[in-house]
């Protein structure tokens, strides 16, 4: 899905061979200005209003997770665990010269940004995590119902108010049966690919590694996140040394869509600060 922004920057893409040529990682690239890496959530890459605005000031590099691109669905079978993903991404980012640049990651993408920063502390200059996955404890259990449950329940899991404008724009009605089928196949398979690194309990030991993150880190979280409890905002804040936590009131799992202005202002101020 592509949002229509008045100042839509020109779009481009680069395909990078990584993981000993077993993965061809496709980066969608938009905007102009200093480089910024965006890591998308399990639902896939959507150029929403938040990203469109970021692209007015940054060149946004957004890698599309292996397996999700309809022309290379089997790429996912080249990656067995989260460390394969981290190493494949790190090599691809470096080969594009993307080092010491800021990263923004949402949900699964937030977990990946945190893993990359923990393993390669100098890779990113600043880290913005929006409702990231990766931590799980019994006090605040959360499930993968967004992947395994009935699809019609998805909007209510993702948003405080699924009927508001931003959330509705994420689920546009398909133009016809063919597009509906394309959307369903891509969406279901995409969830299946990401689930490989979350299933069955979304904890791959990130809590043991977060102390290694040295970049200044912003943790934003929707206070009413029904997917990953907001309690994990404090936990990320506690575990990452140079971090601050910003909660977004009246907001679910995707602040960049449900409260775009607030999220955009907070993230860009954080990125601009010295």
Give contact residues for another protein (rule: CB under 8 A): 70, 73, 76-77, 80, 147-150, 177, 180-181, 184-186, 188-193, 195-196, 199-201
Closest to another protein by CB, 74 or 274: 74
Closest to another protein by CB, 165 or 182: 182
Q: Give min distance, CB of 10 to another protein, in A.
A: 30
Q: Give min distance, CB of 173 to another protein, in A.
A: 14
Q: Give min distance, CB of 174 to another protein, in A.
A: 11
- DSSP code string of 96-122: TT--SEEEEEETHHHHHHHHHHHHSTT
| Structure token digits, residue 13 | 């893409």
Closest to another protein by CB, 75 or 218: 75
Determine contact, residues 146/225, Cβ cutoff 8 Å: no
Q: Give min distance, CB of 123 to another protein, in A.
A: 27
The total of other beta-carbon atoms located within 10 Å of residue 220's CB is: 27
Closest to another protein by CB, 36 or 193: 193
Closest to another protein by CB, 180 or 265: 180
Q: Is 119 exposed, middle or buried (0-12, 13-18, 19+ CB in 10 A)?
A: middle
| Nearby residues of 63 by Cβ (< 8 Å), 6 or more positions away | 25, 26, 27, 37, 39, 89, 92
Q: Give min distance, CB of 182 to another protein, in A.
A: 9
Determine contact, residues 79/73, Cβ cutoff 8 Å: no
């Amino acid at each position: 899905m592509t949002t229509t922004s008045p100042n839509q920057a020109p779009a481009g893409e680069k395909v990078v061979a990584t993981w000993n040529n077993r993965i061809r990682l496709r980066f969608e690239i938009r905007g102009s200005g200093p480089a910024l890496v965006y890591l998308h959530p399990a639902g896939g890459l959507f150029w929403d209003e938040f990203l469109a605005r970021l692209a007015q000031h940054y060149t946004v590099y957004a890698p599309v997770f292996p397996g999700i691109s309809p022309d290379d669905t089997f790429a996912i079978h080249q990656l067995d665990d989260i460390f394969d993903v981290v190493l494949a991404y790190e090599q691809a980012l470096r080969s594009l010269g993307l080092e010491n640049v800021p990263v923004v990651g949402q949900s699964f993408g937030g977990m990946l940004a945190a893993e990359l920063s923990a393993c390669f502390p100098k890779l990113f200059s600043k880290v913005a995590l929006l409702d990231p996955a990766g931590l799980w404890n019994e006090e605040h259990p959360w499930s993968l119902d967004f992947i395994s449950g009935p699809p019609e329940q998805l909007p209510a899991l993702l948003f405080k108010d699924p009927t508001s404008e931003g959330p509705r724009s994420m689920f546009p009605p398909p133009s016809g049966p063919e597009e509906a089928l394309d959307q369903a196949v891509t969406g279901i398979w995409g969830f299946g690919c990401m689930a490989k690194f979350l299933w069955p309990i979304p904890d791959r030991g990130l809590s043991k590694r977060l102390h290694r993150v040295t970049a200044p880190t912003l943790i934003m979280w929707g206070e009413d996140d029904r997917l990953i409890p907001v309690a994990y905002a404090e936990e990320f804040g506690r575990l990452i040394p140079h971090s601050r936590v910003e909660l977004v009131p009246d907001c679910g799992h995707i602040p960049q869509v449900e409260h775009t202005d607030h999220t955009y202002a907070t993230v860009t101020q954080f990125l601009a600060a010295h």
